[in-house]
Amino acid sequence: METNQFLGTERIETLMKKYAVPCIISLLVGALYNIVDQIFIANASYLGSYGNAANTVVFPLTVIALAIAVMVGDGCCAFVSLSLGKDEPQNAKKSVGNSVIMIIAASLILCAVYLILNDQIIAMFGGTINTETFKYSREYFFYITLGIPFYMFGQAMNPIIRADGSPKFAMLSTLAGAVLNIILDPVFIFIFRWGMMGAAVATVIGQIATAILSVLYLINMKTVKPMRYDYIIDRNISGRTIMLGICSFLSQISLVAAMAAINNMIRKYGALDIIFCQEQFAQIPMAVVGIVMKFFQIVISIVVGMAAGCIPIVGYNMGAGLYVRVKKLFTRLLTSEAAVGFISLVIVELFPKQLIAIFGAANESSYYTDFAIKAFRIYLCMIIFACINKACFIFLQAMGKALASTLLSMVREIVFGVGFALLLPVFFGLDGVLYSMPVSDILTFVIAAFLIRYTCKELNSGQKSL
């Protein structure tokens, strides 16, 4: 059996490149599923901003599925890495087997809930803003729901495959599905004119391809090879796996709560705006904020990819007691994340018009472009802090500090994210929705800075607990 001992000896920079780059590409490709759909939908004149708004409504619902998937996958990845660092391979095998069973069960349950409560869920996320948006949301959501089991399985297996020492295969399995989606989207939307159904079906076909490749890898794992009895649920192993992944879950699910609050505030305060109170323009704010979130998702995919790619490295070195290496990795990671945030800030502040043009601005009114430029510049003006905050969440999780990571993530997304999304529009109207993001990121960074300082001191002293 192959071992992962090189994680404790090879240069940190080399390991970061080996693990983080494939992870970044995997997450970027995963983000492309929804983003590519939105680009093609936006540029289809018969769908336009109505289709864009529908995509924004459904997007949080796919994040719920992702939240469950990454909870199981990231938790298993961290557990496997810690177990291998402690030379406990049997626990690593059980974690993988238990995780496969958990994600299959969870995906089937979520799929059933979505099919049964279709209309109510769409309304909860702002889909009733006007008749056309609601119609397109229902159509897109139905077909996306059918792919939920494949999507969740592929997303959960991705970090598990990385933990097994195959980051490139994890990347390629996701890439294969995304390429299929990119090829099929224009065929189904522009040639067959299947509209929202076409965009969704193209996505689901790509997700099926990724799931199939993940199954093939599971059968032939190289470092952690679960046996038949490892698939029997062990409460202790599955519980510890979930606890290590709970931060990933809460980070995603709390983002859903923030998006639900934002969508409903857009619907409420857009109706009070002198322009967007008109039926033909009512969907514009929701469509635009969805586009801004998609750009942010691209940036966060890079940020999370860099941090999540380091999970096996952090877990192994923490398990082996190599704290100096962990601190060095933490420093390198935070510096890199800040650089990504700075480059992103320059792009959104200087080139918002070019960004919105990608999403069909030529087919829309000037109100669409004007609001989009303002949204990019305000909503993402503190993106550097957002990048550092996200890296801090994930790194603490990888160190096995689930409580500190979870609390910080919850404060950002629920206390600040939801709280300011509900509060600021009361004073600033529709613009208050845009202000909620930078205010939340600034306040979270103040807390994160203390945690970063404390963690570095702790690593210096060789203590394991926060």
Tally of CB atoms within 10 A around 163 = 33
CA-CA distance, 61 to 402, in Å (whole number)? 25
Judged on CB neighbours under 10 Å (0-12, 13-18, 19+), 286 is buried
Angle at 343 between CA 340 and CA 346, to 5 degrees: 150
Dihedral of alpha carbons 388, 390, 392, 395, sign: negative
Residues in the chain: 466
Residues 306, 320: Cα–Cα separation, whole Å: 22
Question: What mean pLDDT, rounded, does the chain reach?
Answer: 89
- Residues with Cβ < 8 Å from 416, sequence gap 6 or more? 439, 440, 443, 444
Name the CA dihedral angle for 275, 277, 281, 285, rounded to a multiple of 10 degrees: 90
Spans of the chain, pLDDT less than 70: 1-4, 30, 34, 251, 462-466
Helix axes of 12-42 and 48-85: crossing angle, nearest 10 degrees: 160
181 neighbors 36 (Cβ within 8 angstroms): yes
Collect all residues with Cβ–Cβ distance below 8 Å to 102 and sequence separation of at least 6.
72, 233, 238, 241, 242
Q: Which residues contact 420 (CB under 8 A, 6 or more apart)?
A: 435, 436, 439, 440
Q: Where are the alpha helices (DSSP H) in 220-322?
A: 235-270, 284-309, 311-319
Quick one: the chain helix, strand, coil %, rounded to 5? 85, 0, 15
Identify the pLDDT of residue 466: 38
Amino acid at 430: L
Which residues have a Cβ under 8 Å from the Cβ of 80 and sit 6 or more positions away? 92, 95, 96, 160, 163, 164, 224, 312, 315
Q: How far apart are CA 205 and CA 196, in angstroms?
A: 14
The answer to whether the beta carbons of residues 158 and 120 sit under 8 Å apart is: no
- The candidate with the shortest Cα–Cα distance to 66, out of 27, 112, 36, 95, is 27
At a CB cut-off of 8 Å and minimum separation 6, what does 81 contact?
A: 4, 7, 163, 311, 312, 313, 314, 315, 316, 319, 398
Confidence (pLDDT) at 465: 41
Residue 338 backbone dihedrals phi, psi, to 5 degrees = -65, -35
What local confidence, expressed as pLDDT, does residue 34 receive? 67
Contacts of 417 (CB under 8 A, 6+ apart): 254, 255, 257, 258, 261, 436, 437, 440
Cα–Cα distance between 437 and 377 in angstroms, integer? 11
The pLDDT value recorded for residue 408 is: 85
d(CA 312, CA 405): 17
E strand or H helix at 78: helix 48-85
- Percent of the chain at pLDDT exceeding 70: 97
Task: Specify the pTM.
Answer: 0.79
256 close to 63: Cβ distance less than 8 angstroms: yes
CB atoms within 10 A of CB 230: 21
Please answer whether residues 276 and 284 qualify as being in contact, where contact means their C-beta atoms are separated by less than 8 angstroms: yes
- Give the integer Cα–Cα distance in Å for 318 and 296: 31
